[in-house]
């Protein structure tokens, strides 16, 4: 079973402002591009086996400098795709926070489905199944990069830690951060380090 480097995409102009979701055309901004390059520089000395990314531009653009350094292609893994936010996609966060359902999203996400979209349960099952299937293709010493999105990474880590889904938002996944996840016969070992590539700190769990 493989070791995964779960990388959240870098900064873009919608972070903290709206739910970008699966909207096309959301690219890394200047800060995000710098984060992606810094990430590639930091991981240049590691021996990577493969680089995968969500189909969305911001994830692919985060993975590309790293893949280039290692002479690897960026392969698309649909299971890494952002949650389908349905009718909430593209909506501003200030407006969504006024919606009574916003409290359910944070207090009981395990029971919530985005209007016309995906549930957190479905998104977690999709992402975890994708990593398990991918892990079976590689050996224990293989190091696999997966560039994805904050909620997908948090849901995946919660799944392998056996953390109740309603608590998954306690995990913090910063832009352009790397979360180390080692799978051993389907069981997850989280890190124990989530490296933050804004260079401000290293988080230990």
Range of the domain at 139: 3-204
Render pLDDT for 120-141 as a digit per residue (tens, 0 to 9).
999 999 999 999 999 999 998 8
Q: Give the mean pLDDT of 6-19.
A: 97
Distance CA 3, CA 164 (A): 23
Distance CA 35, CA 105 (A): 29
Distance CA 116, CA 120 (A): 13
Distance CA 18, CA 163 (A): 27
Contact call for residues 137 and 52 (beta carbons, < 8 A):
no
Q: How far apart are the first and last CA of the chain?
A: 22
Render pLDDT for 38-92 as a digit per residue (tens, 0 to 9).
999 999 999 999 999 999 999 999 999 999 999 999 999 999 999 999 999 999 9
Residue 103: pLDDT band (50, 70, 90) is very high
CATH code at 37?
3.40.50.1240
Contact call for residues 9 and 24 (beta carbons, < 8 A):
no
Q: Are strands 143-148 and 50-53 parallel, antiparallel or unpaired?
A: parallel
For helices 120-135 and 150-161, give the axis angle rounded to 10 degrees: 70
Q: How many domains are there within the chain?
A: 1
CB contact burial 1-11 (16+ within 10 A = b; e otherwise):
bbbbbbbbbbb
Contact call for residues 135 and 103 (beta carbons, < 8 A):
no
Q: Are strands 202-204 and 187-195 parallel, antiparallel or unpaired?
A: antiparallel
* pLDDT given at position 195: 33
**Pick from 128, 178, 144, 148: which is nearest to 51 by CA?**
144
Helix, strand, coil shares of the chain, percent, nearest 5, are 40, 20, 40
């Amino acid at each position: 079973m493989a070791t995964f480097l779960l990388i959240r995409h870098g900064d873009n102009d919608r972070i903290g402002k709206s739910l970008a979701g699966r909207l096309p055309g959301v690219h890394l901004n200047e800060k995000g591009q710098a984060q992606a390059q810094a990430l590639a520089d930091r991981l240049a000395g590691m021996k990577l086996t493969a680089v995968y990314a969500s189909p969305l531009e911001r994830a692919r653009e985060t993975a590309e400098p790293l893949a280039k350094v290692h002479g690897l292609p960026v392969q698309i893994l649909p299971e890494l795709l952002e949650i389908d936010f349905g009718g909430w996609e593209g909506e501003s966060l200030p407006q969504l926070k006024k919606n009574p359902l916003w409290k359910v999203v944070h207090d009981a996400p395990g029971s919530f489905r985005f209007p016309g979209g995906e549930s957190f349960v479905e998104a977690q099952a999709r992402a975890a199944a994708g990593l398990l299937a991918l892990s079976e293709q590689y050996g224990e010493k293989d190091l696999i990069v997966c560039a994805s999105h904050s909620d997908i990474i948090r849901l995946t880590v919660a799944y392998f830690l056996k953390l109740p889904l309603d608590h998954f938002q306690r995990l913090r996944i910063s832009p352009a951060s790397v979360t180390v996840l080692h799978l051993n016969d389907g069981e997850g070992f989280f890190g124990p380090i989530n490296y933050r590539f804004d260079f401000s700190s290293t988080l230990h769990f």
